[in-house]
Amino acid sequence: MIIVTGGAGFIGSNLIQQLNHAGINDILLVDNFAPAPNLTGPKFLNLAGAQFADYMDKREFRAALKAGDFDNLKIRAILHQGACSNTLEDDGRYMMDNNFTYSKELLHFALDHKIPLVYASTAAVYGASTEFKEHPANERPLNVYGYSKLVFDNYVRRHMPEFKSTVVGLRYFNVYGPREQHKGRMSSVIHHFTRQLKDTGTIRMFEGSGGYANGEQRRDFVFVKDLAHINMFFAGLLPDSPRKSTHAVVNAGTGEARTFKAVAEALMQVHGPGKIEYIPFPGDLKNRYQHYTQADAADLRTAGYTAPFTSLEEGVQQTFAEEPAV
């Protein structure tokens, strides 16, 4: 069995689809289907066509772990995507329980049973930094979401010399792709720009900010299928996966920053021509916004992952060739 937490979310549901494509259906899907104010649609729609063996609510799953219900099960890998990913959430106690304590529980279970654990971290740990190398000097989160992820990364780092089985943290950069329609404001700009272009014929993006001209803010946009592949690689689920255990906290990004205008141009190639309108930068994002991200992928490559990343243009094409589309 493979455990996928957050399995109904954007990245988790795409991960399950990719596991299915690899012939893997013996999956325990863990998620929380309770309504949340930051979501604009039900997550279960992401699972159309997905094959998995069982489902557990996150609270039920955590209780079962604590009770030892999984101690005698044969588990091939744990792919931990479950977290509170709302970057505007200010409830630090809630965020730390979801993103730190929950992750710590899974880590110790995986280590005790020598099960490969691959977990989702985030580029939000870098905050306003302009250097994206995995080094403490660059890690300055701007919100409690990024902070909660950094605290767990550091916990993993401190204990890494003791590990006897694979533990890999992946710092996701700006992820896009199908199955993110439920995320509301937290959806990628690919999703937001698409809705605007289809509804009004105009894509609205921020005026110059953070030292960048209109629409020239830059992000490292990474296609969600690439992230699924990286998870499966380090979890030992692919033919070319490492044969020895891997211990690392690494960036998961393309290493190439692209402008928001480049995103708009890629979308217009798919959906047809439109206009671009520049709008004032929102006040509630001040001191919370990354104007530029670009992964340093050297440590990812050193850890053994050598596959190329999907280009922005090809990823956008693939996103809208699939159902359900964003």
In whole angstroms, give the CA distance from residue 182 to residue 46.
Answer: 9
Residue 236 lies in a domain: yes
Average pLDDT, the chain: 92
At residue 102, does pLDDT exceed 60?
A: yes
Residue 154 lies in a domain: yes
Of the candidate ranges 14-18, 39-43, 52-56, 132-136, the one whose mean pLDDT is the lowest: 39-43
H-type alpha helices, 135-247: 144-159, 189-200, 224-234
Reply yes or no on whether 289 is catalytic.
no
pLDDT digit string (tens) for 157-173?
999 999 999 999 999 99
Which one is catalytic: 172, 183, 289, 292? 183
Helix (H, G, I), strand (E, B) or coil at 136: helix
Of the candidate ranges 40-49, 101-110, 231-240, 302-311, the one whose mean pLDDT is the lowest: 40-49
- Residue of 8, 1, 53, 19 whose CA lies nearest to 238: 19
Name 206's Cβ contacts closer than 8 Å, sequence gap at least 6.
214, 215, 217, 260, 278, 279, 280, 281, 282
Give me the pLDDT at residue 40, please.
62
How many domains would you assign to the chain?
1
In whole angstroms, give the CA distance from residue 298 to residue 302.
Answer: 6
Give me the pLDDT at residue 39, please.
59
How would residue 326 be classed by pLDDT, with cut points 50, 70 and 90?
very low
Residue 277 lies in a domain: no
Instruction: Check if the beta carbon of residue 174 is closer than 8 Å to that of residue 219.
Output: yes
* Comparison of pLDDT for 69 and 323, the residue scoring more: 69
Show contacts of 237-243: CB within 8 Å, 24+ apart.
237/2, 237/19, 237/22, 237/24, 237/76, 237/77, 238/22, 242/166, 242/304
Helix (H, G, I), strand (E, B) or coil at 93: helix
How would residue 58 be classed by pLDDT, with cut points 50, 70 and 90?
very high
Interstrand relation of 202-206 and 247-252 (parallel, antiparallel or unpaired):
unpaired
pLDDT digit string (tens) for 182-225?
656 667 888 889 999 999 999 999 988 888 999 999 999 999 99
Which one is catalytic: 102, 126, 145, 305? 145
Residue 104 lies in a domain: yes
Residue 171 lies in a domain: yes
At residue 324, does pLDDT exceed 60?
A: no
Q: What are the phi and psi torsion angles at 18 (to 5°)?
A: -70, -35
Q: What are the phi and psi torsion angles at 54 (to 5°)?
A: -160, 160
Rounded mean pLDDT, 267-284: 91
CATH number where 297 lies: 3.40.50.720
Give me the pLDDT at residue 325, please.
41
Distances from the Cα of 159 to the Cα of 83, 102, 141, 155, 248, angstroms = 21, 17, 22, 6, 11
Name 272's Cβ contacts closer than 8 Å, sequence gap at least 6.
197
In whole angstroms, give the CA distance from residue 291 to residue 104.
Answer: 31
Residue 272 lies in a domain: no
Structural domain range at position 14: 2-179+221-255+291-309
Residue 199 lies in a domain: no
Give me the pLDDT at residue 284, please.
74
Distances from the Cα of 279 to the Cα of 36, 155, 208, 209, 292, angstroms = 28, 40, 9, 11, 18
Name 261's Cβ contacts closer than 8 Å, sequence gap at least 6.
205, 215, 216, 276
Tell me whether the omega of the peptide bond preceding residue 324 falls within 30 degrees of 0, making it cis: yes
Residue 318 lies in a domain: no
- Residue of 220, 214, 104, 102 whose CA lies nearest to 171: 220
Instruction: Check if the beta carbon of residue 156 is closer than 8 Å to that of residue 168.
Output: no
Give me the pLDDT at residue 290, please.
77
Rounded mean pLDDT, 15-20: 97
* Comparison of pLDDT for 130 and 115, the residue scoring more: 115
39-43, 80-84, 124-128, 241-245, range with greatest mean pLDDT: 241-245
Give me the pLDDT at residue 182, please.
65
Reply yes or no on whether 198 is catalytic.
no
